C-alpha cells in the first residue's frame, strides 16, 4: 500500500494534538510550519509525523509532538519573549519556540548534536536561535534573566540554578524526577520573586547530565 502523502500525515497529527487538548493557535501553527522529518534521521523518517518520541544520535531522543506542543503551550509565549532551552537535541523544540518567541538561547552538551541542529536551523532560515555547547544545568549567566525557560531533559530535583535565571513574571517548564517517569512541572515566578508550581502531566525524558559530553560518551 502506498504511504500517505506527508501533508495528510501532518493534518492527522494536528488533529490528534487538538483532540488531546492542545488549543493554542500559535503552537499548532508552529508545528504545522516545521517539517519534523527534517529533524529525524537513522531510518525513522517515515515515522516523523507520528505522535511519538524517536531515537536520534548519541542515544538521545526527539520528544513526542504532543509533549512538545504541551510544553510550548504551557509557556504562554509571545513575540517579546527571550527563551532559554536546555537540551537542544535534534533542534525540533527550539525551532518550534523560535517561530513564536523573539529569541531562543539553546544549550546542548553534545557538540555533534548541536552541529546537526544548527544545520537544520540554517536550512529552515530560522535566524533567532543562539546555540551553545555547555552544561545547561548551570543555565546561561551572561544572557540571564529569561522570560521563559524550558528544560527538555529530566532534572532529579527542582532546578534552582535555572529558576534563579528566570525573570519575575516568568514561566519555566521542566520534567523533574530521578526515575524513568518524571513529573512535568510548570513553575511561575511572581513579581515579588515567589515561585509556585503545578504538575502538568507525567513524562519520560532522558536525564539531565553533568558536564559537556566527550566524543566517546555515547549515553
Ligand atoms: N529538545 C530536544 C529533545 C531533547 S533530548 C528535541 O526537540 O529534539 C535531551 C537532550 O538534552 C539531549 O540531547 C541531551 O544530550 C541533552 N542534555 C542532557 N543533559 C544536558 C546538560 N546538562 N546540558 C545540556 N544538554 C543536556
Model confidence pLDDT, tens digit, residues 135-181: 999 999 999 999 999 999 999 999 999 999 999 999 999 999 999 99
Domain boundaries, the chain: 6-203
Looking at ligand 1, which residue's alpha carbon is closest to its atom 10? Answer: 87
Q: Is the CB of 75 under 6 A from ligand 1?
A: no
Residue 128 CA, ligand 1 centroid: distance in Å: 19
The predicted pLDDT at position 214 comes to 81
Residue 4 CA, ligand 1 centroid: distance in Å: 31
Please write the tens of the pLDDT for every residue from 195-208.
999 999 999 999 99
Residue 197 CA, ligand 1 centroid: distance in Å: 23
Please write the tens of the pLDDT for every residue from 87-145.
999 999 999 999 999 999 999 999 999 999 999 999 999 999 999 999 999 999 999 99
Contact 101, 166 (CB under 8 A): no
Closest CA to 101 of 121, 74, 128, 120: 128
Write the CA distances from 146 to 4, 16, 85, integer angstroms: 41, 32, 10
Q: Is the CB of 206 under 6 A from ligand 1?
A: yes
Q: Is the CB of 124 under 6 A from ligand 1?
A: no
Write out the E strands in 42-143. Answer: 54-55, 61-62, 82-86, 103-108, 129-133
Please give the grid coordinates belonging to residue 155.
532534572
Instruction: Return the SS3 of 186.
Output: strand
Q: Is the CB of 114 under 6 A from ligand 1?
A: no
User: Distance from CA of residue 14 to its chain's centroid?
Assistant: 18
Q: Is the CB of 96 under 6 A from ligand 1?
A: no
Say yes or no to pLDDT of 4 above 90.
Answer: no
Higher pLDDT, 5 or 32: 32
The rounded percent of the chain whose pLDDT value lies above 90 is 90
Q: According to the CATH classification, is domain 6-203 in 3.40.720.10?
A: no
Whether 8 is a known active-site residue: answer no
Between CA 140 and CA 72, with CA 69 as vertex, the angle to 5 degrees is 35
pTM score over 0.85:
yes
The whole-number average pLDDT for the span 11-40 is 97
The predicted pLDDT at position 215 comes to 66
Say yes or no to pLDDT of 1 above 50.
Answer: no
Q: Is the CB of 93 under 6 A from ligand 1?
A: yes
What b/e string do you get for 16-29 counting C-beta neighbours within 10 Å, with b at 16 or more?
ebeeeebebebbbe
The predicted pLDDT at position 198 comes to 98
The predicted pLDDT at position 217 comes to 58
Enumerate the β-bridge partners of residue 172: 149, 187
Residue 82 confidence class, pLDDT cut points 50, 70, 90: very high
The region, left, alpha or beta by phi > 0 then psi within -120 to 50, assigned to residue 2 is beta
Residue 107 CA, ligand 1 centroid: distance in Å: 8
Higher pLDDT, 7 or 114: 114
Residue with cell 536525564: 207
Residue 147 CA, ligand 1 centroid: distance in Å: 20
Nearest-atom number in ligand 1 for the CA of 209 is: 19
Enumerate the β-bridge partners of residue 137: none
Please write the tens of the pLDDT for every residue from 41-74.
889 999 999 999 999 999 999 999 999 999 999 9
Which residue among 38, 57, 109, 203 is best mutated to probe the pocket of ligand 1, counting the most ligand atoms within 8 A of its Cβ?
A: 109
Residue 3 confidence class, pLDDT cut points 50, 70, 90: low
Q: Is the CB of 209 under 6 A from ligand 1?
A: yes
Amino acid at each position: 500500500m502506498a504511504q500517505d502523502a506527508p501533508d495528510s500525515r501532518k493534518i492527522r497529527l494536528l488533529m490528534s494534538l487538538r483532540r488531546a487538548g492542545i488549543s493554542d493557535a500559535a503552537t499548532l501553527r508552529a508545528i504545522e510550519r516545521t517539517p519534523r522529518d527534517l529533524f529525524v534521521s537513522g531510518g525513522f523518517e517515515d515515522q516523523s509525523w507520528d505522535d511519538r518520541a524517536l531515537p536520534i544520535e548519541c542515544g538521545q531522543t526527539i520528544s513526542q509532538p504532543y509533549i512538545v506542543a504541551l510544553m510550548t503551550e504551557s509557556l504562554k509565549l509571545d513575540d517579546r519573549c527571550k527563551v532559554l532551552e536546555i537540551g537542544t537535541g535534534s533542534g525540533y523544540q527550539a525551532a518550534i519556540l523560535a517561530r513564536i518567541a523573539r529569541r531562543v538561547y539553546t544549550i546542548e552538551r553534545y557538540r555533534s548534536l548541536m552541529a546537526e541542529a544548527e544545520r537544520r536551523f540554517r536550512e529552515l532560515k530560522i535566524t533567532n536561535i543562539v546555540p551553545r555547547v555547555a552544561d545547561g544545568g548551570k543555565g546561561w549567566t551572561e544572557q540571564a534573566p529569561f522570560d521563559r525557560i524550558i528544560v527538555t531533559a529530566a532534572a532529579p530535583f527542582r532546578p534552582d540554578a535555572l529558576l534563579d535565571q528566570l525573570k519575575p513574571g516568568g514561566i519555566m517548564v521542566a520534567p523533574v524526577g530521578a526515575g524513568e517517569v518524571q513529573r512535568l512541572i510548570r513553575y511561575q515566578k511572581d513579581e515579588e520573586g515567589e515561585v509556585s508550581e503545578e504538575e502538568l502531566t507525567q513524562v519520560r525524558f532522558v536525564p539531565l547530565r553533568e558536564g559537556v559530553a566527550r566524543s566517546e560518551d555515547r549515553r
